[in-house]
């Protein structure tokens, strides 16, 4: 994307390299504090009303709250560990392809989108949707990257599809505002990959159209162009046969031209 390249030329030196690693480390610390005092995380979530009451740190601190599962007494240690390590891997993968500055811009757009969603539609936000944007970005760049999910391996694109299915299921009973908030929070993915996706779909439609035209032409090539009105012979059934269009507008083979048939009928019969 040219506008990002222009920004990188001017401000690339300010990029935070390893930014996702830093976020994951802080999230791990937040999780430890959560185990010690569960109410601590409520100081970090992004919530419009609390920000307007002066708790402006929430505009950034929500990024450091991992999606916490289980009850406050029995958090799911396994899933938290998996998510943190997996997020680390996603960040390293995207940074190795994009570089630090582009990844910073990607995360920044996601943060701005989440903040706009919070102020436009309300709700409480943590870092979960930004995790989705990292997953989608990685899966788009390298869809067949193998990941090990417990005891079996699958390409990361399937994990992205499964995660999307769970995301949609969670939104089925949600109001329209929650759908719009989700779209805004994933604005970074739409901005980065939307144009290329549209180009790919346009290219696919063009190729599909050419294929349909080609197949139609093949079908036409298999159909007869000439057919005798009388005997139904065609140039396919008799390649040496000639055809003519008579005065009545119908096509005849040379053996059944109307004038020729009349001439045969007028020929005197031998006795």
Separation between Cα atoms, residue 30 and residue 187, nearest integer Å: 26
Mean pLDDT of 153-167: 90
Share of the chain above pLDDT 70, in %: 83
* Domains of the chain by start residue, with CATH: 2-202 (1.20.1540.10), 225-271 (no CATH)
Give tens-digit pLDDT for 89-145: 999 999 999 999 999 999 999 999 999 999 998 888 888 888 899 999 999 999 999
Give the tokens for residue 104. Answer: 């910073």
pLDDT of 22 strictly over 90: yes
* DSSP codes, 94-163: HHHHH-HHHHHHHHHHHHHHHHHHHHHH--EE-SHHHHHHHHHHHHHHSTT-EEEETTEEEEHHHHHHHH
């Amino acid at each position: 994307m040219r506008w990002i390249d222009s920004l990188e030329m001017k401000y690339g030196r300010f990029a935070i390299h390893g930014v996702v690693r830093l976020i994951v480390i802080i999230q791990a610390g937040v999780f430890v504090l959560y185990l010690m005092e569960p109410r601590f995380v409520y100081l970090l979530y992004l919530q419009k009303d609390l920000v307007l009451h002066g708790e402006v740190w929430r505009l950034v601190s929500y990024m450091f709250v991992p999606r916490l599962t289980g009850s406050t007494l029995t958090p799911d240690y396994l899933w938290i560990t998996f998510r943190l390590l997996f997020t680390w891997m996603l960040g390293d993968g995207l940074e190795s392809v994009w570089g630090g500055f582009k990844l910073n811009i990607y995360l920044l757009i996601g943060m701005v989108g989440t903040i706009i969603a919070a102020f436009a539609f309300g709700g409480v936000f943590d870092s979960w949707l930004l995790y989705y944007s990292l997953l989608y970005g990685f899966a788009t760049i390298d869809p067949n990257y193998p990941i090990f999910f417990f005891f079996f391996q699958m390409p990361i694109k399937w994990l992205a599809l499964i995660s999307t299915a769970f995301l949609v299921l969670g939104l089925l009973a949600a109001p329209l505002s929650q759908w719009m908030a989700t779209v805004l929070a994933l604005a970074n993915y739409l901005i980065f990959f939307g144009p290329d996706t549209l180009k790919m779909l346009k290219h696919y439609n063009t190729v599909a159209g050419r294929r349909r035209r080609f197949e139609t032409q093949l079908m036409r090539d298999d159909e007869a162009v000439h057919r005798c009105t009388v005997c139904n012979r065609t140039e396919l059934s008799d390649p040496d046969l000639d055809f003519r269009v008579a005065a009545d507008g119908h096509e005849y083979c040379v053996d059944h031209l109307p004038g020729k048939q009349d001439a045969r009928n007028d020929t005197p019969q031998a006795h």
